[in-house]
């Protein structure tokens, strides 16, 4: 499929569209107007029209959007119409929580194994996913066509471990360690920092209070 030039702002909104369109399909809704979608998603109808026009999902007068078509197109753009094999490095609280969340599999992200350096954890299972020794990282990544590594280890080792995983063939890092990873440019890194999100929440509370006081 040819790569489409889509702005990063639109790409950021795509997972949300995908989720809402998926819910509509589950409800048996095949088409929807931009106004109805706007009410559900609390996004302006013109924003929706602009965004969805990127995918040839042009709403037709009197018809609305074809929900299934848009859902499929967005899945293709996001690359979730194919499966992605992934591993989690760090089988502590966070790594286990991610491994236990079944819905990633439904989106095509298949967790193949967890890795840890703690001998007490190695050999245990989370559901049907094994916790393996770091010694097996190289052979496992190579033999199981692993594309993504989630990093849920402390920041001190994070860059070295990420570099190791990349040298064995991993192409993308889902980074939860609180550090900016130094990796080759071709590697995709998605940083997830819940505390950043909380700080934004705190900012909004602070300024909401001030706005309320100032009328």
User: Which residues would be at the binding site for ligand NAI (CB under 6 A)?
Assistant: 89-95, 116-118, 121, 134, 152-155, 157, 161, 176-178, 192-195
User: Which residue number has the CB closest to ligand NAI?
Assistant: 92
User: Which among 84, 68, 75, 67 is positioned nearest to 14, based on CA atoms?
Assistant: 75
Residue 49 CB, nearest distance to ligand NAI (Å)?
A: 34
Q: Based on CB atoms, which residue is closest to ligand NAI, 73 or 116?
A: 116
DSSP bridge pairs for 163: none
Q: Based on CB atoms, which residue is closest to ligand NAI, 16 or 178?
A: 178
Angle between helices 8-26 and 67-78 (to 10 degrees): 140
Q: Based on CB atoms, which residue is closest to ligand NAI, 77 or 150?
A: 150
DSSP assignment of 18-54: HHHHHHHHHTT--EE-HHHHHHHHTS-HHHHHHHHHT
Residue 109 CB, nearest distance to ligand NAI (Å)?
A: 17
Q: Based on CB atoms, which residue is closest to ligand NAI, 31 or 155?
A: 155
Residue 121 CB, nearest distance to ligand NAI (Å)?
A: 6
């Amino acid at each position: 499929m040819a790569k489409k030039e889509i702005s990063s702002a639109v790409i950021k909104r795509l997972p949300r569209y995908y989720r809402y369109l998926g819910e509509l399909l589950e409800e048996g809704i095949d088409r929807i107007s931009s106004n109805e979608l706007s009410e559900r998603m609390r996004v302006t109808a013109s924003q929706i029209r602009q965004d969805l026009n990127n995918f040839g999902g042009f709403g037709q007068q009197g018809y609305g959007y074809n929900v299934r078509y848009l859902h499929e197109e967005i899945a293709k753009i996001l690359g979730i119409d194919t499966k992605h094999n992934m591993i989690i490095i760090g089988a502590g609280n966070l790594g286990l929580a991610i491994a236990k969340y079944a819905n990633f599999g439904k989106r095509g992200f298949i967790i193949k194994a967890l890795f840890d350096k703690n001998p007490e954890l190695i050999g245990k299972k989370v559901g049907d996913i094994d916790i393996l020794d770091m010694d097996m990282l190289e052979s496992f990544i190579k033999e199981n066509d692993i594309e993504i590594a989630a990093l849920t280890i402390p920041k001190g080792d994070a860059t070295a471990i990420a570099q190791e995983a990349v040298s064995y063939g991993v192409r993308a890092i889902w980074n939860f360690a609180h550090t900016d990873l130094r990796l080759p440019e071709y590697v995709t890194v998605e940083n997830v920092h819940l505390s950043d999100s909380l700080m934004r929440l705190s900012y909004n509370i602070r300024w909401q209070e001030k706005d309320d006081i100032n009328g």
